[in-house]
Amino acid sequence: MTTLRALAAVCEQLARTRSRRDLARQVADFLGALDAEEVRPAVRFLLGQAGRGGAVSGQTLWRVLVRLVGEGASADVWTGAVDFGEAVERLLERRETPAELPALGLIEVEERVRALAGPRGAGSRAEKERLLAELFARLTPLEAKYVAKNLIREMRTGAAEGILLDAVALVAGGDRAAVARAHMLEGDLTEVAALALANRGGPLPASALTYFRPLRPMLAHSAESVSEALATFGGRAAVEWKLDGARVQVHRRGDDCRLYSRRLQDLTESLPDVVGELRRGLSAPAAILEGEVIPVDAAGRALPFQELMRRFRRIRDIGRLEREVPVRLHLFDALQAGDEPLIDRPYGERWATLERVRGMLRVVGRVVPPTAAEAEAFSAAALADGFEGVMVKGLDAPYTPGVRGRGWLKVKRATTVDLVIIAADRGYGRRHGWLSNYHLAARDEETGRLEPVGKTFKGLTDAEFRTMTDRLSALAIREEGPTVHVEPRIVVEVLFTDLQRSPTYAAGLALRFARIARIREDKAPADADTVQHLRALFARQQTRGVGGEGEA
């Protein structure tokens, strides 16, 4: 039996390791010693996902732990603590415990964490707190540190998804490309790890697209202009509308039709009107397609993105919501037709297949421009019609699930990035009582850490400030003066003028004149833009002679 104690010791070692190669080797050695049934929970713990479905707020967990240890024991535990997990460890070090707590198995601990998702309705809060108290009473301070990190989804050991892929590749005989391919198609690193361990030392079994198992979406980089993007592909590209909606993946086989969000959540019950449209209009009996759902008014004009969030994940009063917020689906890609997978086919071929199978369904506006001037004209018309911008897609590019490759480039009205709120400052004056100055972070794809890159108090309405204050207060994990540090759950799209070097932030960059454009309810922190992406934007900015030194 592999114990949580053993995993916690590995996590401590990982947190002190800086070499990517050493991180991968340590994880591979640990995974290689596990029994088959322990692989999935171990990978989920390492990625900070053991609390998925049973996550609790840091505020709730802290309240339970203070009661467990004693009200007076929490004084000064935050002083010098680098994160919530370390504060939990320090708090439990002040508890009187038996000389030797029996070690819990990894599988048992995950089962206890998942049980936290069970309580519902009246009395659920008290029951959840009871379960938390029972679990943490049996944990050492070090074990508690990493369970807490999983519960609030803030693992940060340096063993991010990329490191886990490297480690699984070592287990699988060093074939990183095969592991990355399996991850693209399986969509779940825990399953890839289980496959590798079941066939350790040998080749991975081939993975394939499967109906009703959604793929992670292909992602796009940014470009400054349509002409620049077109030149990247040597002129062999299509230009499409960039809709301000929510991306959906459509799986239809026979009468069974389901919709998935970009976060792979099942949206079928929330969007029965779209499902009905697909069943009636799609000419193919089986297909996996991608599209964008936008909210529209009675005249069919696009409404702001936030209106759409009234529909997502709602399963009550659907009939009323269908009338109040009608939506429209525009398709833009085909990933499979019948039994024929398409993701390795060039985008031009995938579009031809989409046209063949879409029947009466809409597709996004699109041209394959012979000249840059015609591409710019299409983009200008899209902006004039109120679209967010355009996508420029290489005709020869395959579909790469979950990868921000160079096959797609987005050109928007203004430069925006998706960032995570990690803290907020208490307001003053008219904003007294609100959390209104938001600390924004980008994801470092090398370490998995969220690195601060700026702050903003601009962009939200008074009503949105109040709602955001309530949401962030529920996610609070600690306070330092006027700053409330929160669990990294909320993603926002941020407009900014340019980037500057920053001696303050570890990322080395800061946004200038940042402003929140919208709250991205459809995105998770893992979908946030990366530090590496910001550095690429900064490099392009430097070639234009914009930006420079700063003190942010």
Task: Name 430's Cβ contacts closer than 8 Å, sequence gap at least 6.
Answer: none
Length of the chain: 552
Query: Residues 192, 197, 200, 204: what is their CA dihedral angle, to the nearest 10 degrees?
Result: -20
Angle, alpha carbons 380-384-389 (nearest 5°): 60
DSSP string across 427-478: P-GGGTTSEEEEEEEEE-TTT--EEEEEEE--S--HHHHHHHHHHHHHTEEE
Q: CA 259, CA 248: separation in Å to the nearest integer?
A: 6
What residues are paired with 89 via a beta bridge?
none
Q: Among candidates 386, 351, 322, which has minimal Cα distance to 239?
A: 351
* Catalytic site includes residue 242: yes
- Give the Cα separation of 116 and 328 in Å (integer): 37
> How many CB atoms within 10 Å of residue 77?
22
Strand partners, 334: 289
Name 521's Cβ contacts closer than 8 Å, sequence gap at least 6. Answer: 309, 312
CA distance 91 to 70: 10
Angle, alpha carbons 416-422-427 (nearest 5°):
95
- Strands 219-222, 366-367: pairing is unpaired
Of 242, 393, 410, 412, the active-site residue reads: 242
Taking alpha carbons only, the member of 404, 357, 366, 352 closest to residue 250 is 357
CB-CB neighbours of 135 under 10 Å: 21
Packing angle, helices 161-171 and 189-198, rounded to 10:
10
Question: CB–CB of 64/136 below 8 Å?
Answer: yes
Closest CA to 154 of 283, 37, 56, 273: 56
Containing 160, the helix (H) or strand (E) segment is none
Tokens of 420: 């995570």
In this structure, the number of other CB atoms found within 10 A of the CB of residue 464 comes to: 14
What contacts 419, CB < 8 A, 6 or more positions away?
440, 441, 442, 453, 454, 491, 492, 494, 528, 529
Nearest to 40 by CA among 240, 189, 261: 189
Beta-ladder partners of 152: none
183 class by beta-carbon count within 10 Å (0-12 exposed, 13-18 middle, 19+ buried): buried
Hey, which residues are catalytic here?
A: 242
